[in-house]
């Protein structure tokens, strides 16, 4: 069958070459004329004008080639199918597009393709006319540059979409851009035309799919029939479309610029190149806006970092001053008058220094926890943890605080309570809040560790029956955002910073820190998943 068809083609070529009338008709035309075998779009003959236009030295360079080899950028699976569909439906197809010659030179032209019947085979005849060397079309290019350069930002998008709508005599023109991490749709961010509420365009199986692959696309008619389920086509009742991609600095498709019309669309001279120029200008404008947004964001972040640094330095200097002064004072006394003190007096003073050093160490460890949180160096590893074991781990930190404050500890936590949590985060959160509660409990008061199970979750509770904690300070530490916490004029301390860090650590392990407070009693509740 294949050989028979090939023989028929070769036979028809020979007959055409021997037919003076046929050759005269071909050669009298100033335009490039090609005769194509329809089913495969293979070139079976052409005239001298075709050789000249495509810079071929002889017909052998063009014959037996598929016609899409004449095009510059169009993909095979898109062009051949679309052209054949149009030929079957209307008997004719026309389009303006970019062509490439045998010498790899590019020009802009218009093709018209029609069905004919010769020698018992289905043929199409293809006429190509050079419309302009668009690289030298200074008047047209000047107009495009004028339209796209007179404004920036939102006004720029308004101007170019309005210009496109007027140029194509179409109701709608739009600009859409790719969504980071989402290849299934793109976002419409500017539309010229009334009543468009659609926010996204799907990519796969849609009228923009080839554009997202990097190709300019043109549907002169029948858009509703081709894509009946498309949201924006249904909303606008669009019947035709032309659009082009625009690219980022890495050459990836950043978005598209397109025109939708409710009537059949005739492709105007240099339409595709106009879209490419406007697309390039659009990409530059979007990236300019993104650069400004990034600069503003970096400026805001730098200001936040400076505010955070200032707040932290104030907190650190305030909280470190007391234990350091105590250490310096007592160490100076011992250094200068060690011989004057009895052993029990030296022991008492060394105990004060020891407590101050422990307090200083706790402050530094809290700052270390904060630093890991801010640098996002916290790695969460969920596993069963026994609460009693966590309390044993933090006992060296709480013991001396209880002694200094002369506060009693009541531990009601059963030994068999297991929680699902990260060991480091759970220990750091409980230690920070326990230190805060003990430091804010009055002399002779009681601090209680307790546990309850509610709806399948364990609640570990730290309670004080005689507290001095500031209610507004606690609520602020538990509810403030990162920016609010660091930019607030409120005076803070390392223990308050510890409560804030504890809240963040609980969230990182799918838990929650909350507080119940009355004039005398305060209790912090740590909600964990049951282990």
What is the reported pLDDT for 22?
60
Look up residue 493 and give its DSSP letter: -
Q: Is the same domain home to 184 and 142?
A: yes
pLDDT in the model for residue 141? 54
Q: Are residues 188 and 95 in the same domain?
A: no
The answer as to whether 321 is a domain residue is: no
Largest CA distance in the chain: 133
Same domain, 509 and 426: yes
65 Cβ neighbours under 8 A, 6+ residues apart: 42, 43
**For residue 476, what pLDDT is reported?**
87
pTM of structure: 0.43
Task: Give the per-residue pLDDT at 75.
Answer: 47
Please choose, from the candidates 468, 494, 502, 469, the residue with its C-alpha nearest in 3D space to the C-alpha of residue 360: 494
Overall number of domains in the chain: 3
Residues 37 and 161 in one domain: no
In a domain, 369, yes or no: no
Based on the fold, state whether residues 468 and 496 are members of the same structural domain: yes
Residues of the chain with pLDDT under 70: 1-25, 73-82, 117-121, 131-151, 267, 269-270, 305, 307-320, 322, 373, 375, 486-494
Whole-number pLDDT of residue 132: 56
193, 172 Cβ separation under 8 angstroms: yes
Look at residue 509 in the predicted model and tell me its pLDDT.
Answer: 87
- Amino acid 79: pLDDT: 57
CA angle at 342 for the pair 339 and 346, rounded to the nearest 5° = 85
* pLDDT computed for residue 20 by the predictor: 62
Contacts of 177 (CB under 8 A, 6+ apart): 186, 187, 189, 254, 255, 286
- Quick one: 63 and 150 in the same domain? no
223 part of a folded domain: yes
* Whole-number Å distance between alpha carbons of 138 and 445: 88
Does 284 lie in the same domain as 140? yes
CB of 101 within 8 A of CB of 129?
A: no
Single residue among 261, 291, 321 that ends a domain in this structure: 291
> Do residue 224 and residue 242 come from a single domain?
yes
How many C-alpha atoms does 455 have within 13 Å on its Cβ side?
1
Range of the domain at 425: 378-530
512 in any annotated domain: yes
CATH of the domain at 199: 3.30.450.40
Specify whether 143 is located in the same domain as 287. Answer: yes
Same domain, 101 and 182: no
CATH code of residue 434: 3.30.565.10
Return d(Cα 198, Cα 234) in angstroms, integer: 10
Of the candidates 134, 158, 178, which is a domain's last residue?
134
Give burial (CB, 10 Å; 0-12/13-18/19+) of 207.
buried
Q: Are 518 and 466 in contact (CB under 8 A)?
A: no
Instruction: Assess whether 244 and 264 both reside in one domain.
Output: yes
Q: Is residue 214 within 8 Å of residue 190, measured between CB atoms?
A: no
**How many angstroms from the chain centroid is the CA of residue 177?**
11
The confidence score (pLDDT) of residue 270 equals 67
Last residue of a domain, one of 102, 134, 166: 134
Closest to 257 (Cα-Cα) out of 170, 147, 173: 173
Q: Are residues 47 and 56 in contact, defined by beta-carbon separation less than 8 angstroms?
A: no
Looking at the fold, whether 123 and 157 belong to one and the same domain comes out as no
The answer to whether 270 touches 108, Cβ cutoff 8 Å, is: yes
Please report whether residue 130 resides in a domain: yes
467's tokens: 């507290």
Distance (Å, whole) CA 406 – CA 409: 10
Instruction: Output the domain CATH number for residue 15.
Output: 3.30.450.20
Does residue 350 belong to any structural domain of this protein? no
Q: Which of 187, 15, 224, 227 shows the shortest CA–CA distance to 118?
A: 15
Q: Is residue 229 part of a domain?
A: yes
Within-domain flag for 52: yes
d(CA 290, CA 491): 37
Contacts of 94 (CB under 8 A, 6+ apart): 110, 111, 112, 113, 267
């Amino acid at each position: 069958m294949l050989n028979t068809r090939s023989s028929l083609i070769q036979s028809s070529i020979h007959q055409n070459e021997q037919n003076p009338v046929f050759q005269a008709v071909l050669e009298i035309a100033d335009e490039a004329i090609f005769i194509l075998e329809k089913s495969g779009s293979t070139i079976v003959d052409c005239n001298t004008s075709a050789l000249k236009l495509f810079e071929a030295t002889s017909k052998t360079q063009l014959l037996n080639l598929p016609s899409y080899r004449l095009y510059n950028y169009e993909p095979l699976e898109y062009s051949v199918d679309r052209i054949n569909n149009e030929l079957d439906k209307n008997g004719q197809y026309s389009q303006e597009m970019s062509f490439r010659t045998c010498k790899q030179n590019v020009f802009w032209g218009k093709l018209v393709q029609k069905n004919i019947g010769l020698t018992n085979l289905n043929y199409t005849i293809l006429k190509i006319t050079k419309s302009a060397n668009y690289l030298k079309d200074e008047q047209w290019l000047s107009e495009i540059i004028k339209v796209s350069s007179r404004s920036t930002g939102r006004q720029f998008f308004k101007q170019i979409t309005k210009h496109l709508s007027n140029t194509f005599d179409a109701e709608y023109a739009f600009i859409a851009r790719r969504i980071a991490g989402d290849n299934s749709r793109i976002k419409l961010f500017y539309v010229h035309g009334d009543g468009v509420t659609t926010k996204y365009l799907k990519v796969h199986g849609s009228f923009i799919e080839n554009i997202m692959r990097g190709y300019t696309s043109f549907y002169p008619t029948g858009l509703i029939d081709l894509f009946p389920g498309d949201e924006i086509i249904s909303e606008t009742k669009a019947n035709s479309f032309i659009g082009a991609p625009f690219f980022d600095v890495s050459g990836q498709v950043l978005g598209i610029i397109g025109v939708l019309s409710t009537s059949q669309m005739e492709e105007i001279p240099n339409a595709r190149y106009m879209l490419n120029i406007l697309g390039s200008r659009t990409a530059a404008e979007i990236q300019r806006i993104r650069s400004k947004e990034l600069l503003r964001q970096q400026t805001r972040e730098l200001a936040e970092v400076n505010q955070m640094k200032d707040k932290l330095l104030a907190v650190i200097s305030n909280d470190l001053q007391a234990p350091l002064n105590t250490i310096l004072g007592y160490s100076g006394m011992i250094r200068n008058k060690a011989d004057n003190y009895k052993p029990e007096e030296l022991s008492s003073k060394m105990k004060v220094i020891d407590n101050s050093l422990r307090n200083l160490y706790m402050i530094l460890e809290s700052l270390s926890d904060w630093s890991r949180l801010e640098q996002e160096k916290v790695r969460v590893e969920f596993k069963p943890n026994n609460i009693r074991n966590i309390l044993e781990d933090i006992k060296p930190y709480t013991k001396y605080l209880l002694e200094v404050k002369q506060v009693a500890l009541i531990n009601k936590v059963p030994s068999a309570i297991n929680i699902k949590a990260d060991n480091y985060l759970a220990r750091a959160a409980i230690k920070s809040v326990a230190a805060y509660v003990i430091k804010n409990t009055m002399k002779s008061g009681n601090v209680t560790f307790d546990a309850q199970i509610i709806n399948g979750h364990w609640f570990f509770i730290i309670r004080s029956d005689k507290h001095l904690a500031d209610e507004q300070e606690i609520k602020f530490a538990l509810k403030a955002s990162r920016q609010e916490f660091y930019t607030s004029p409120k005076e803070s301390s390392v223990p308050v910073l510890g409560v804030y860090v504890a809240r963040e650590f609980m969230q990182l392990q799918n838990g929650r820190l909350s507080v119940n407070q009355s004039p005398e009693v305060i209790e912090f509740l740590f909600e964990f998943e049951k282990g």
